[in-house]
Amino acid sequence: MTVTEDASAAANAPAPATATSGHQAPAPAPGLAAILGSGDHKVIGRLWLVAAMVHLLLVGVVNALVAAERADTDSFEILGRDWIVQADTFRFIGVVFLVILPLTISIATAIVPLQVGASTVAFPRAASASAWTYLMGGGLLLGAYVIEGGPGGTDEDGVRLFVAAFVLVLLALTVAWICIMTTVMTLRAPGMGLARIPLFAWSALVAGGVWILTLPVLAGLSVLSYLDVRYEEALGGGPSAFYDHVSWAFGTPTVYALAIPVLGFVGSVLPVFARTRHHLHRIALGLIGAFAAFTIGSWTAPGFSAEAEGPAWLYEGLWVVVSIAAIVPVLGLVGLWALTARKGRVKLASPLIFGVAALLMLLAGLTAGALQAIEPIETLVDGEGSSLFGTSWSTGTFAYVALATIIALLGAIVYWSPKLLGAAFPEAGARLVALLALLGTVVASLPELVAGLLGEPAAATEVAADNQSTIETLNVVVAAGDGLLALAAVLFVMLLVKTATSDDDPGDDPWGGHTLEWATASPPPVGNFTEVPSVTSEAPLYDAHHRTEEASA
Domain ranges of the chain: 3-552
For the chain, give the percent of residues with pLDDT over 70.
84
Q: What is the mean pLDDT of residues 438-457?
A: 93
Higher pLDDT, 38 or 139: 139
Higher pLDDT, 37 or 506: 506
Distance between CA atoms of residues 239 and 242, nearest Å: 6
Q: What is the pLDDT of residue 345?
A: 92
Q: What is the pTM of this model?
A: 0.91
Phi-psi region of 22 (alpha: psi -120 to 50; beta: other; left: phi over 0): left
Q: Which residues lie closer than 8 Å to 140 by C-beta, 6 or more apart?
A: 161, 164, 165, 168
Torsion 456-462-463-464 (CA) sign: negative
Higher pLDDT, 466 or 360: 360
Per-residue pLDDT reduced to its tens digit, 20-51: 344 444 555 555 555 666 778 999 999 999 99
Q: What is the pLDDT of residue 87?
A: 87
Among 314-318, 341-345, 378-382, name the one with the lowest average pLDDT: 378-382
Q: Using CA atoms of 414, 420, 422, 423 in order, give the dihedral in degrees to the nearest 10.
A: -10
Mean pLDDT of the chain: 86
Q: What is the pLDDT of residue 361?
A: 98
DSSP-assigned states of every residue in 374-434: -TT----BTTB---STTBHHHHHHHHHHHHHHHHHHHHHHHHTHHHHTSSPPPHHHHHHHH
Higher pLDDT, 130 or 225: 130
Residue 249 near residue 214 (C-beta atoms within 8 A): yes
- The strand pair at 15-16 and 531-532 is best described as antiparallel
Per-residue confidence band for 551, with pLDDT thresholds at 50, 70 and 90: low
Per-residue pLDDT reduced to its tens digit, 234-291: 555 555 677 888 888 998 899 999 999 999 999 999 999 999 999 999 999 999 999 9
Higher pLDDT, 457 or 32: 457
Q: What is the pLDDT of residue 2?
A: 37
Phi, psi of 531 (to 5 degrees): -140, 145
Q: What is the mean pLDDT of residues 496-524?
A: 93
- Look at residue 531 and give its three-state secondary structure: strand
Three-class SS string for 44-108? HHHHHHHHHHHHHHHHHHHHHHHHHHCCCCCCCCCCCHHHHHHHHHHHHHHHHHHHHHHHHHHHH
Per-residue pLDDT reduced to its tens digit, 52-83: 999 999 999 999 888 888 887 666 677 777 77
Per-residue pLDDT reduced to its tens digit, 295-326: 998 877 666 554 445 555 566 778 888 989 99
CATH superfamily of the domain spanning 3-552: Cytochrome c oxidase-like, subunit I domain (1.20.210.10)
Q: What is the mean pLDDT of residues 140-146?
A: 93
Q: What is the pLDDT of residue 239?
A: 58
Residue 418 near residue 109 (C-beta atoms within 8 A): no
Q: What is the pLDDT of residue 194?
A: 92
Among 18-27, 102-111, 441-450, 540-549, name the one with the lowest average pLDDT: 18-27
Residue 114 near residue 520 (C-beta atoms within 8 A): yes
Distance between CA atoms of residues 172 and 211, nearest Å: 12
Per-residue pLDDT reduced to its tens digit, 176-200: 999 999 999 999 999 999 999 999 9
Q: What is the pLDDT of residue 47?
A: 94
Q: What is the pLDDT of residue 15?
A: 38
Q: What is the mean pLDDT of residues 108-117?
A: 96
Q: What is the pLDDT of residue 378?
A: 56
Q: Which residues lie closer than 8 Å to 149 by C-beta, 6 or more apart?
A: 155, 156, 157, 158, 159, 160, 161, 162
Residues forming beta bridges with residue 384, ordered by sequence position: 381
